[in-house]
């Protein structure tokens, strides 16, 4: 069974990974879904009280992506398993093969998202009905939304990083016609073979973020936020 919890004003779903995924599957088609895969850095961005904060609090629900969120919920008496974003995306791709869901990919560079779409189609035997790079300005946003809607996509995966991907969904939630929308960070780069996912050892320890930092040194600028998150966690601060 899944549980529901309000983390400040972020609606959370928690439980075993299988139960969380089953719940998502049951909800597709009942109402328009916007899923946030919440990790520590996203939570720290949320705490700033900016437009991003408003965005993720308006999502249908968040699921615990990072080990930091799992630990934060545990301190509140809630036990849950992780649902890493890329694993959640893979689950939805496998479901799409069975349910014939149409998929649109938005984000990354043009050649990368194109390569990702080809790899996903081949590996998961799914119907990618469109893709678009994530480097467009505000003037082009309406046209991008029209392209997504014209494709009749059921599932929209947005890989534009934090905070752009959630902000894009938030601004266009009412207009977008997909049944499910989810930000997936750098997952397109992994599918395209541009970056490697952390080895299983790092995944099991919940240290994928550390591996990514060594692979992509520019991510080290996020370390202060991670330190602050864990300092607050162990000082019993939200």
By CB atoms closer than 10 A (0-12, 13-18, 19+), residue 166 is buried
Which token pair is 208? 């994928």
Same domain, 146 and 223: no
In a domain, 93, yes or no: yes
Query: In terms of Cα–Cα distance, which of 129, 145, 140 is closest to 177?
Result: 145
Same domain, 142 and 207: no
Same domain, 162 and 69: yes
Same domain, 217 and 184: no
Instruction: Give the model confidence (pLDDT) of 143-166 as tens digits.
Output: 999 999 999 999 999 999 889 999
The count of domains in the chain is 2
| CATH code of residue 63 | 3.40.50
Pair 110, 133: CB distance under 8 Å? yes
- Between CA 162 and CA 154 the distance in angstroms is 23
Q: What is the mean pLDDT of the chain?
A: 90
Same domain, 143 and 222: no
In a domain, 235, yes or no: no
Please give the pLDDT value at position 232: 78
By CB atoms closer than 10 A (0-12, 13-18, 19+), residue 173 is middle
- Which portions of the chain are predicted below pLDDT 70? 196-225, 237-238
Which residues span the domain enclosing 213?
200-228
In a domain, 17, yes or no: no
């Amino acid at each position: 069974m899944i549980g529901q919890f309000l983390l400040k004003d972020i609606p959370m779903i928690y439980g075993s990974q299988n139960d969380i995924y089953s719940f998502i599957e049951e909800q597709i088609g009942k109402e328009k879904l916007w899923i946030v895969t919440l990790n520590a850095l996203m939570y720290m961005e949320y705490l700033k009280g900016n437009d991003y904060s408003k965005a993720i609090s308006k999502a249908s629900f968040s699921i615990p992506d990072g080990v930091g969120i799992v630990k934060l919920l545990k301190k509140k008496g809630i036990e849950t398993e992780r649902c890493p974003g890329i694993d959640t995306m893979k689950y939805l791709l496998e479901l799409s093969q069975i349910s014939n869901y149409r998929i649109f990919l938005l984000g990354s560079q043009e050649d990368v998202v194109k390569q990702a779409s080809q790899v996903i189609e081949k590996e998961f035997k799914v119907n990618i009905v469109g893709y678009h790079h994530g480097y467009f300005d505000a003037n082009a946003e309406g046209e991008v939304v029209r392209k997504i809607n014209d494709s009749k996509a059921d599932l929209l995966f947005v890989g534009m990083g934090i905070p752009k991907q959630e902000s894009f969904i938030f601004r266009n939630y009412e207009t977008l016609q997909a049944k499910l929308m989810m930000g997936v960070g750098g997952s397109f780069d992994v599918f395209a073979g541009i970056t490697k996912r952390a080895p299983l050892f790092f995944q099991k320890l919940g240290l994928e973020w550390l591996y990514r930092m060594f692979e992509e040194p520019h991510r080290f600028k996020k370390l202060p936020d991670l330190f602050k998150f864990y300092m607050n966690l162990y000082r019993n601060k939200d």
